[in-house]
Amino acid sequence: MKSGDADYMAARDAMVAILKGWAREGRTDTYKALSEAVAPEHRVHYHGRMMSLLLSDVCRRDSTGPEPMLSALVVNGSSRKPSDQFFELAITEFHRRDPDWTWEWERDAVFDRYRSPVSP
pLDDT for residue 13: 94
Cβ-contact 57, 12 below 8 angstroms = yes
CA 55 to chain centre: 5
| pTM given for the model | 0.88
Cβ-contact 107, 28 below 8 angstroms = yes
Angle at 57 between CA 12 and CA 7, to 5 degrees: 35
pLDDT digits (tens, 9 = 90+) for 41-90: 777 756 777 888 889 999 998 887 789 999 999 999 999 999 999 999 99
Tell which residue, 55, 61, 93, 57, has the closest CA to residue 75.
55
Per the prediction, the chain carries an average pLDDT of 88
Per-domain boundaries in the chain: 6-115
E runs forming strands in the chain: 29-30, 74-75
Statement: residue 116 has pLDDT above 90: no
Question: What is the chain's Cα-based Rg?
Answer: 13
Statement: residue 114 has pLDDT above 90: yes
pLDDT for residue 75: 96
CA distance 13 to 10: 5
